[in-house]
Structures are given as structure tokens and as C-alpha cells.
């Protein structure tokens, strides 16, 4: 086994990282003494070029706000990443940098565990990289969906009660309410929610965002982003360790 295999996470203002602890625990469990996982807090995306020159770097995860911006620095993309237009996992092999999207895999797993048959149309809140992965999976399963963001036709100001009543699946994909800004919450007609609604908030820190608390008070079933995060991390591990040996 090669010595000093480096992995890590790139993002901006990363105050807390699930990934670092998750992978360090994994290295310990698998007794991989030569692996390390670092946080690369990059004020600007172009600084990623400095990382690429490290010969030990096997790959890295990508978080907000670089899931879309990283694409122009890569040599190729997986089919999912190309279709979604966002990358959250990069594999470096023989100097070639390939982007993958494991958010889609993680969200798909989460959806399959919790979705009921009558939750058959969705509202996606946000239109960043994570929202794009969510839309990709909803489209894959033929679940009609609308995207709500600050700039879309239906936005946070005009999203009304009727629309929320009609869509029993709500996926919160923005970083609003993430630690340390735990009191922040998107503007949303919570009064339209019922026990028939499933709310998936992709945030995992805190466990219960203001959005989830407000939704659960209306009787909605709520799920945070922790399981999705675990699943996408496992998929990334698989890519770094197995697919690198048989890239097509």
C-alpha cells in the first residue's frame, strides 16, 4: 500500500466538518495508518490548483460554495455529475481529475427510506449544487417538482399555502439555519403543512433546524441530512478506493 494517501474537503468558511471525523473514524476502524483527511478552507476557488500539485492527494469532497465552480478545474465528469451540473467528490488518478456527484446517491437512499406513495410531487427549496442533485433524483423517479429560490418565478415571497398543500414532499436545500446561525429560517408557509407532508432538510448541523422544528409543529414527518451525508460519504470512499482501479 502506498504511504501517505491524502483526502480532504474543500469549501469556504468551513466551521465544522462531518467528513473529517467520519473518515478519520473509518481509517481507525480499518487500521489505515497511512491515510489522512484534511480541511482545505479556500477563500477563492482558484486556490484549488495549489492542491492539485500534491502527489499524495487521492481526492477530495467539495462543499458550499464550490460544487459548481470546481467543474472548470476538472478533466472529466461522471454521467451524473455532468447531468446535474454539480460535483461534490473528486478522484485524482494518474494526474487526471474526475468529478462525481455522490449527493444524488445519498439523497436517493434517503428518499427511498422515507417517501410514501401519496407524497408524489415535490417542492425544492434552493437552486445550488445540492438542489440540482435532488432534482436529478426526483426526475429519475418521475416525481413532478418545482424549484423555489430567490430568483425563480415561484420564490420565497410568492410561494403560497395552496402550492404547499398540493406538494406533499418538501426538500430544503439551502444552507439557511446551519450552525452557527441556528435561529435563521427560510420564509415558508408552514401553516399549509399537514401530517401527510414529508420534509427533508439537507442540513445536519444542528440536528433540528428551525425549519424542521416549525414543520414538525404542524405534524409533518421530518428528516434531516445526516443519513444522506453518511450515504454520500460511503459512495465517495468507494470511488476513491475501488473505481480508481478500474476507471473506464
User: Active site residue: 6, 20, 67, 221, which one?
Assistant: 67
- In three-state secondary structure terms, 60 is strand
State phi, psi for 7 to the nearest 5 degrees: -125, 170
Cell of 111: 428518499
Is residue 96 among the annotated active site residues? no
State the residue for C-alpha cell 404542524.
218
In whole angstroms, give the CA distance from residue 84 to residue 110. 18
Local structure of residue 117 (DSSP, 8 states): T
Q: Which of 107, 77, 86, 108 is nearest to 239 (CA)?
A: 77
| Cα 99 to Cα 80: distance, rounded to the nearest angstrom | 9
Q: Which residues are catalytic?
A: 67
Amino acid at each position: 500500500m502506498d504511504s501517505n494517501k491524502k483526502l480532504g474537503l474543500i469549501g469556504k468558511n468551513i466551521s465544522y466538518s462531518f467528513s473529517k471525523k467520519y473518515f478519520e473514524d473509518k481509517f481507525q476502524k480499518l487500521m489505515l495508518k497511512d491515510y489522512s483527511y484534511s480541511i482545505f478552507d479556500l477563500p477563492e476557488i482558484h486556490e484549488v490548483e495549489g492542491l492539485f500539485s500534491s502527489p499524495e492527494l487521492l481526492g477530495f469532497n467539495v462543499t458550499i460554495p464550490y460544487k459548481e465552480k470546481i467543474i472548470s478545474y476538472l478533466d472529466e465528469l461522471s454521467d451524473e455529475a455532468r447531468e446535474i451540473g454539480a460535483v461534490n467528490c473528486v478522484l485524482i488518478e494518474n494526474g487526471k481529475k474526475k468529478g462525481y456527484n455522490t449527493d444524488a446517491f445519498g439523497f436517493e437512499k434517503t428518499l427511498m427510506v422515507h417517501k410514501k406513495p401519496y407524497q408524489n410531487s415535490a417542492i425544492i427549496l434552493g437552486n445550488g449544487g445540492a438542489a440540482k442533485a435532488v432534482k436529478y433524483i426526483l426526475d429519475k423517479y418521475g416525481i413532478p417538482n418545482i424549484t423555489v429560490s430567490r430568483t425563480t418565478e415561484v420564490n420565497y415571497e410568492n410561494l403560497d399555502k395552496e402550492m404547499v398543500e398540493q406538494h406533499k414532499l418538501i426538500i430544503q436545500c439551502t444552507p439557511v439555519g446551519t450552525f452557527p446561525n441556528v435561529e435563521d429560517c427560510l420564509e415558508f408557509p408552514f401553516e399549509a403543512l399537514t401530517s401527510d407532508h414529508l420534509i427533508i432538510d439537507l442540513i445536519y448541523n444542528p440536528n433540528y433546524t428551525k425549519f424542521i422544528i416549525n414543520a414538525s409543529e404542524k405534524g409533518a414527518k421530518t428528516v434531516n441530512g445526516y443519513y444522506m451525508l453518511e450515504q454520500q460519504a460511503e459512495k465517495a470512499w468507494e470511488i476513491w478506493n475501488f473505481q480508481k482501479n478500474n476507471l473506464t
